């Protein structure tokens, strides 16, 4: 069956360190993958998109990698800050729609 | 731009009542998506429209759910009759390229 997996347990990171979140998928061949941030009581907010032919994408303190052989994307936040605390969702584009992971809750401790 | 607008923000109703959720997408966007989010099931796509035409409604759970998009600036999601298991946060999202999606603030629905 097709599925997308994100670490269901919350990730606790010390402020200033790099946070790394994982998104694994099976039985998809996505043209691209997206990462979104969701704060409590709000809708997801788009962060980054990476295409299948791209290995890495950066935006300020954010970096995303995409390994189609491993069927995995990694999302990094460098120099993490308490304001980065949120739930991060990955989503694959497949069959003309986004397929969503369940999200990983990230907690940055001061 | 005001972003995607949803109303109401909160809705509490009794089982069996009709519920109508409303969405105004970002002007110029040609795709609109209705999602439901719960702790148990995460974010689920219910239906999406492209140029006001429903493209995929396979995520609509039952015949009790229906969605319309009469024009490019308005869509509704209706549940009739509502049941307690419909309690969730319902999001509307719009996009221009069918890629990055812009979400509204959501409607928190509670069915008693």
pLDDT in tens, B20-58: 999 999 999 999 999 999 988 889 999 999 999 999 888
B103 vs A44: CB contact, 8 Å cut-off?
A: yes
Spell out the residues 6+ positions from residue B10 whose beta carbon is closer than 8 angstroms to its own: B107, B108, B110
Give the model's confidence band at A1: pLDDT under 50 very low, under 70 low, under 90 confident, else very high.
low
Q: What is the mean pLDDT of residues A30-36?
A: 90
Looking at residue B98, its pLDDT comes to 61
Looking at residue B61, its pLDDT comes to 85
Identify the residue among B46, B100, B102, B105 best suited for mutation to test binding to A, counting A beta carbons within 10 A and taking the highest.
B100
Looking at residue A3, its pLDDT comes to 84
Angstroms from B108 CA to nearest CA on chain A = 9
Looking at residue B62, its pLDDT comes to 84
Q: What is the mean pLDDT of residues A38-56?
A: 94
Q: What is the mean pLDDT of residues A12-17?
A: 97
CA distance A37 to A53: 23
Quick check: B107 pLDDT over 70?
A: yes
Q: What is the mean pLDDT of residues A52-65?
A: 94
Quick check: B99 pLDDT over 80?
A: no
Looking at residue B78, its pLDDT comes to 98
Q: Which residue has the higher pLDDT, A22 or B41?
A: A22
**Percent of chain A surpassing pLDDT 90:** 76
Q: What is the mean pLDDT of residues A68-91?
A: 96
Angstroms from A25 CA to nearest CA on chain B = 16
CA distance B37 to A18: 29
In chain B, residues with a C-beta closer than 8 Å to the C-beta of A96 are 55-56, 98
Question: Interface of chain B against chain A, CB under 8 Å?
Answer: 4, 42-45, 48, 55-56, 91, 93, 98-106
Closest CB to B101: pick one of A32, A46, A102: A46
Span B51-77, pLDDT tens digits: 999 998 888 988 999 999 999 999 999
Burial class (CB in 10 A: 0-12, 13-18, 19+), B108: middle
Q: What is the mean pLDDT of residues A39-59?
A: 94
Looking at residue B12, its pLDDT comes to 98
CB distance A11 to A106 below 8 Å: yes
Quick check: B1 pLDDT over 90?
A: no
A98 vs B106: CB contact, 8 Å cut-off?
A: no
* Chain mean pLDDT for chain A: 92
DSSP state of A97: E
């Amino acid at each position: 069956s097709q599925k997308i997996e994100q670490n269901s347990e919350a990730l606790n990171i010390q402020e200033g360190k790099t946070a790394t979140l994982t998104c694994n998928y099976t039985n998809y061949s996505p043209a691209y993958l997206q990462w979104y941030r969701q704060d409590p009581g709000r809708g997801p907010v788009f962060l980054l998109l990476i295409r299948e032919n791209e290995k890495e994408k950066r935006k300020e303190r954010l970096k995303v990698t995409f390994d189609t052989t491993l069927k995995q994307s990694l999302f990094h936040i460098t120099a993490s800050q308490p304001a980065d605390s949120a739930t991060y969702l990955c989503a694959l584009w497949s069959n003309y729609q986004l397929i969503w992971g369940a999200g990983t809750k990230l907690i940055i401790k001061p | 731009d005001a972003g995607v607008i949803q109303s109401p923000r909160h809705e509490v109703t009794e089982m069996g009542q009709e519920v109508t959720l409303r969405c105004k997408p970002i002007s110029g966007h040609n795709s609109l998506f209705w999602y439901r989010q719960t702790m148990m099931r995460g974010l689920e796509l219910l239906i999406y429209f492209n140029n006001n035409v429903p493209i995929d409604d396979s995520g609509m759970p039952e015949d009790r759910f229906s969605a319309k998009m009469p024009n490019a600036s308005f869509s509704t999601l209706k549940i009739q009759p509502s049941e307690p298991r419909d309690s969730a946060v319902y999001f509307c999202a719009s996009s221009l390229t069918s890629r990055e999606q812009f979400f509204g603030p959501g409607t928190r629905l509670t069915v008693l």
